[in-house]
Amino acid sequence: METLSENKAFGGTQGVYRHPSTATNCDMSFGLFLPEEARDGPVPVLWYLSGLTCTHENAMSKAGAQNWAAEQGIALVFPDTSPRGEGVADDEAYDLGQGAGFYVNASQAPWASHFNMWDYLADELPALLGEKFSVDLDRQAITGHSMGGHGALTLAMGLPGRFRSVSAFAPICNPSASDWGRKQLSAYLGEDEAAWARHDATLMMRETGFDGPILIDTGTTDQFIDLLQPEAFAQAVTERRQEATLRLQPGYDHSYFFVSTFIEEHIAFHADALYRD
């Protein structure tokens, strides 16, 4: 593992690191904020998954999360959104290929040899963090924005017992029924829609739900709200009687101004779950 940068922030350290990944068959970069408490022992972990076109850097620089994570004594992990580099498949469209991994394990050419973001986030990167850094993998939570909100919800429900809480900002809620989903899931996973179900938060909520609290914020003037389909997930939550707080925030859009407005509340929400005995 290579250290690309480390900067003191809010008493802790904001680092950026690069390592060879066996899951994605290329080098991967990630950001990690460690609060001051990590010097004395392992701290809880909150994963932040970013959206379309983003790298690890977008949320790390724009979400304003480190201040609140430092206040709560929580580590923040900012993974990349896809494999990258020479030889990694890509597409001219912004919503497929590099920057648009959708947090799945691709089974179709030309994506299958690199686009295994599920395995990277479920297994490889947590193992690396546990080996190299002072983090407590028995206390994990997950959040994300847009495509990353989709990933946060599906990973939380797809890995029972892993995460104590899950939240999302403007998540893609029902990708198998949305133009932000059908295109990508068919490209990565093929035309058999049965293979898509474990990557659709609405379908997963109906099937398994989540053993813990959920918090979701979506702006009422989000320019992509018809693609996000928050109402589909809300209906599934209601049908399952799932513990969840689903909020429509008046006047907010899809930007990081929206995310940074509510990130403090999301981190406090996760801290409550992470520190609960």
Contact assessment for residue 70 and residue 11, using Cβ atoms and an 8 Å cutoff: yes
Indicate the residue type of 2: E
Dist. CA 139–CA 122, nearest whole Å: 14
Task: Provide the edge-to-edge strand list for the sheet that holds 166-169.
Answer: 2-9, 12-21, 26-34, 75-79, 43-49, 135-144, 166-169, 214-219, 245-249
The catalytic site residues sit at 146, 222, 254
Contact assessment for residue 1 and residue 19, using Cβ atoms and an 8 Å cutoff: yes
Dist. CA 204–CA 222, nearest whole Å: 24
> CB count, 10 Å around CB of 134?
16
The verdict on whether omega for the bond into residue 175 sits within 30 degrees of 0, i.e. cis, is no
At 206, give phi and psi (nearest 5°): -65, -35
At 121, give phi and psi (nearest 5°): -85, -30
Strand partners, 144: 49
Quick check: helix, strand or coil at residue 208? coil
